[in-house]
Structure 1
Amino acid sequence: MENGQIPNSRISSAKMGDWDLHKALEGRLNNGDYWDTDTTYSSWMQVYLGLTAKAVGLITQGNGQNWVISYYVQTQSFGGELLYITHDSNDSRKLFPGNTDGNGSFTNIFDSPIETILIRVEPYECNGVCQLRLEILGCNSSLALSKDCVIPSGMEHVTGEIDRHVTDHYGGRLNGVGAWELYKIPISTELMQVTFTNPMFISGIILQCRPQGTLEINCLTSILIKLGNDTKSMQYINDNDTPRIFHVNHQAIYAYDIISFESVIAAKLIGIQPLTSSLHTGIRMRFEILTCEDADGTLTLPNFNAKPFSIVAPAGGYVTRETDGTIAITIRRTCLPDCTSAGIVVVNTADYTATAPGDYTPLQGEAVNFATADTDATVSLSIVDDYDIDPDERLVVYLAISVTGETYHVSFTYITIIDDDNLI
């Protein structure tokens, strides 16, 4: 927070006392300005970290004659809900002590490190007006960020090859100047849809509410989400064969609400379908899509002149029958100019329409080693012949490498399993 590593766009709040002068983005430790709120009721300041971090504590600071005496903390793990930090003994919300003056700092260390993508501080008691400056502590005194599957796809900053939405409301980019608008909901056929040039591993979305001209809050409160590789194959994320309703907890304009999927979904299209809003009269929405890869399907890797590993597969991916038992996946290494050292890549699988372990035996962290001069290697995936008559099903195989302690996803393909139980 203090050194600016976390950008302003990831800092938001609810119930600010002076909207124009003391925004949440000013609430950085030792900053000349601060965040403030005139009430502790439903007030909070939050920081979206952008990547999974191991947070170990907070440093808080007031301003002049105003400071936060005590506060609650909420965190959100990838794929989880926003939860209060609680006492281990009785699971009640833990009230953290805050500052005793306006200019000194006070440090709280959590009982154990917390893996989170978001930190929210909720003032409970203040001296004068609640005024707050903040720093987040991570392992080794800095945020231990990992390249988890929470990489913005490029909606906000217009990076990568992302097609326009199926509607004309292209202003719905996170932190943009416009918004996607609907004046009546629910409208079952109306989607905010984004099409990627290449299939992506999609892990979630970030939603943001934009006010009307009068600053009246009219935010989404629930949505459905559809994904697929073309408009005909798009399917809802389901709960027990019923479209899953994602509840949105917007409490303030411009604040973020993060929806993380329980598992990564490979798809080329994603559509957001509004269901309900806070005023029941429509919505004004902006959003970002979280992925495992940049929007062009690759990552720019530090200290490499080329993408070092890739899966060698036919167009559309591999095809196998249930009765084949196994399928060999070829992995190729690219070195410039030549391979002069050994290499290692990790192979993983993810469900698409095929599910493990019923349809195949998953690969999780399967290491493939390359000798100094090796350019090709293979890894085997076991296919389950279940004797049931099923439609053809697909799974995803993807590669990961480690660069200076960070994990990057560098290549993926599909495997289609053809059911041959109905063949004579």
Structure 2
Amino acid sequence: MPLGMETGAIANWQISASSMLLGFMGLQRWAPELARLHRSGIVNAWTASNYDKKPWIQVNLMRKMRVTGVVTQGASRAGSAEYVKTFKVAYSLNGRKFEFVQVDGGFGDKIFVGNVDNNGLRTNMLDTPLEAQYVRLVPVTCHWSCTLRFELLGCELNGCSEPLGLKDYTISDAQITASSTYKTWGVNSFSWYPFYARLDKQGKFNAWTAERNSASEWLQIDLGSQKQVTGIITQGARDFGHIQYVAAYKVAYSDDGLTWTEYKDEGAEESKVFPGNLDNNSHKKNVFETPFLARFVRILPVSWHNRITLRVELLGC
């Protein structure tokens, strides 16, 4: 599954590079954080400086993960197609000592075939998945400048990180409830129901919004049976142009929907407050250091922007 370059689950600060091109008299920053698959706009990719003889771009995944492949894409600059034709992949656990993916038999660094134009996608799957926190793409040959948009493919090490059914409607509307529902202008037909709280849901009313901005509000998901829950992805939304999202939250879980336990990291005395979203559309993924078994999961907003508004997916198995 994609690890979050395109969706924004991988934050800008997690992406770095050896250099970047400053175009149009230094006003255009072709920066590493722009290297997201399908990114649009005039400046929509990473480009290495023309003076950089050993360019690279890397992602800090924040924890050791299983990386299974990479999808690459070029871009256009001033009407000219630019892309990486061939590249190597390096990986690291600490961000200091890197090793290159090897050809079968270990007789040299593997050179991957990249793109042939500015917009097409090229997928390369790794013969042997990597277990790494840092992944670095190292261009070998480029068409004009070394310009790149990309996505990493993989999963959590435990393999238990599949979407549990909010986005794809495996979880029914009746299984998603909340403490309250906001109605824009008090109109019933403008209600932001809890069952709208599905990741990437589209439409004018496409998320759950609480009636009040209060730390006593909650969104609840009934998984139907006990599941191992390993992570969560959250997203905000817009209400007639107003950006709304949950900036921080806690998570509680239960087997019967009556008695609740707030999530704590192992050894912690206080309930964990998870960082939430920074805008209305990007994904923010949080992984539970200590996965839990539960049928019911509640999201408890702690802080928010404008109104408590959520779209969400739970991860686990």
When normalised by structure 2's length, the TM-score is 0.54
Contact 2:74 2:81 in 1 (8 A): no
> Pick from 197, 211, 230: which aligns with 1:172?
197
> Pick from 85, 94, 97: which aligns with 1:88?
97
Task: For 1:165, give the aligned amino acid.
Answer: T
Contact 1:227 1:269 in 2 (8 A): yes
Change in CA separation of 1:207 and 1:116 when aligned onto 2, cut-off 3 Å: farther
Q: 1:415 maps to what in 2?
A: none
* CA deviation after TM superposition for structure 1 residue 209, in Å: 1.7
**Matched pairs, number:** 227
Report the Cα distance in structure 2 between the residues aligned to 1:144 and 1:118, rounded to whole angstroms: 14
* CA deviation after TM superposition for structure 1 residue 11, in Å: 4.1
Report the Cα distance in structure 2 between the residues aligned to 1:182 and 1:12, rounded to whole angstroms: 25
> Pick from 238, 242, 245: which aligns with 1:211?
238
State the SS of the aligned residue for 1:222. strand
* CA deviation after TM superposition for structure 1 residue 200, in Å: 1.4
Contact 2:73 2:118 in 1 (8 A): no
Matches for 1:281-300 after TM superposition, within 5 Å: 281-292=306-317
The higher radius of gyration belongs to: 1
> Pick from 143, 146, 150: which aligns with 2:161?
150
Task: For 1:151, give the aligned amino acid.
Answer: E
Matches for 1:232-243 after TM superposition, within 5 Å: 232-239=258-265, 240-243=268-271
Contact 2:233 2:286 in 1 (8 A): yes
Change in CA separation of 1:275 and 1:144 when aligned onto 2, cut-off 3 Å: closer
Q: 1:181 maps to what in 2?
A: 209
Q: 2:7 maps to what in 1?
A: 12
Report the Cα distance in structure 2 between the residues aligned to 1:172 and 1:145, rounded to whole angstroms: 24
* CA deviation after TM superposition for structure 1 residue 242, in Å: 1.4
Q: 1:59 maps to what in 2?
A: 72
Identity over the aligned pairs, expressed in percent? 20
* CA deviation after TM superposition for structure 1 residue 57, in Å: 5.2
Q: 1:163 maps to what in 2?
A: 175
Task: For 1:153, give the aligned amino acid.
Answer: L
State the SS of the aligned residue for 2:289. strand
Q: Looking at both structures, which has the greater relative contact order when contacts are Cα pairs under 8 Å and sequence separation is at least 6?
A: 2
Task: For 2:294, give the aligned amino acid.
Answer: A
Matches for 1:245-264 after TM superposition, within 5 Å: 245-248=273-276, 250-264=277-291
1:223 to 2:218 alignment: no
Report the Cα distance in structure 1 between the residues aligned to 2:125 and 2:286, rounded to whole angstroms: 27
Task: For 1:256, give the aligned amino acid.
Answer: H
* CA deviation after TM superposition for structure 1 residue 173, in Å: 1.0
Task: For 1:152, give the aligned amino acid.
Answer: P
When normalised by structure 1's length, the TM-score is 0.42
Matches for 1:25-64 after TM superposition, within 5 Å: 34-38=38-42, 53-55=66-68, 59-63=72-76, 64=79
Contact 1:55 1:115 in 2 (8 A): no
Report the Cα distance in structure 2 between the residues aligned to 1:284 and 1:256, rounded to whole angstroms: 13
* CA deviation after TM superposition for structure 1 residue 257, in Å: 1.0
* CA deviation after TM superposition for structure 1 residue 290, in Å: 1.1
**What CA deviation, in whole Å up to 9, does each residue of 1:57-80 have, x standing for no partner?**
5634223526579xxxxxxxxxxx
Task: For 1:148, give the aligned amino acid.
Answer: G
State the SS of the aligned residue for 1:35. coil
Task: For 2:224, give the aligned amino acid.
Answer: T
Change in CA separation of 1:117 and 1:290 when aligned onto 2, cut-off 3 Å: farther
* CA deviation after TM superposition for structure 1 residue 288, in Å: 0.9
Task: For 2:208, give the aligned amino acid.
Answer: W
* CA deviation after TM superposition for structure 1 residue 218, in Å: 2.6
Change in CA separation of 1:252 and 1:195 when aligned onto 2, cut-off 3 Å: same
Task: For 1:197, give the aligned amino acid.
Answer: G
Report the Cα distance in structure 2 between the residues aligned to 1:259 and 1:36, rounded to whole angstroms: 26
Report the Cα distance in structure 1 between the residues aligned to 2:197 and 2:171, rounded to whole angstroms: 16
